[in-house]
Amino acid sequence: MAAGCAEPPRSKAASEGPVVGAAGVLPCLELPTYAAACALLNSRYSCLVAGPHRRHIALSPRYLNRKRSGIREQLDAELLRYSESLLGVPIAYDNIKVVGELGDIYDDQGHIHLNIEADFIIFCPEPGQKLMGTVNKVSSSHIGCLVHGCFNASIPKPEQMPAEQWQTLEFKNQVFCSF
């Protein structure tokens, strides 16, 4: 198990966030909690990595008395978007630490500049890696899949596959695909 990842609780109420199912797939289209994302890390086809990363944050002055809220708001806005600095798509974070005691104000900029460190779970598939998805659409030319309950994938029908075999795919089937 990755550093900073704890075992998820055995059962959870629906209002407490998503729970990882038996197949290692999140059951709904919500952002996974850090604990749920950690549970997915050990899945063979997760394409997830975990680790601490340092980041620079420009905090709006309105968060002077609420640094943590401002940092969380910025990090939340970056979830499920590709990050050049993380080399992947962050899906969860935890353990935020402000590096240094004070923030800086540069020149005439009104923002307070801070360096932070946090543990991130990052989706970063590489060419040739396999992913597991849940079928959520079947058409004559392609299937749609949901990977980790967060990412849509469209898989075109292979030309050599007979239409009869293609039509056996059903909603909620688990399928593997190469990235």
Question: Could you give the domains of the chain?
Answer: 48-123 (3.30.1490.120), 130-178 (no CATH)
pLDDT score, position 6: 40
Write phi, then psi, for 156 (nearest 5 degrees): -70, 150
pLDDT at residue 83 tops 80: yes
Taking residues 53-69, what's their average pLDDT?
A: 89
The whole-number pLDDT of residue 17 equals 39
Average pLDDT of the residues in 134-148:
79
pLDDT greater than 70 at residue 122: yes
Residue with tokens 């609780």: 9
> What is the per-residue pLDDT for 173?
66
Residue 178 is predicted with a pLDDT of: 64
Predicted confidence at residue 29, as pLDDT, reads 57
Mean pLDDT of 8-18: 35
User: By percentage, how much of the chain surpasses pLDDT 90?
Assistant: 22
- The CA-atom distances, in angstroms, between 21 and each of 56, 101, 118, 146 are 35, 41, 26, 14
Higher-pLDDT residue of 92 and 162 is 92
Per-residue confidence band for 172, with pLDDT thresholds at 50, 70 and 90: low
**pTM for the structure as a whole:** 0.71
Give the whole-angstrom CA distance, residue 43 versus residue 55: 27
Average of per-residue pLDDT across 131-145: 80
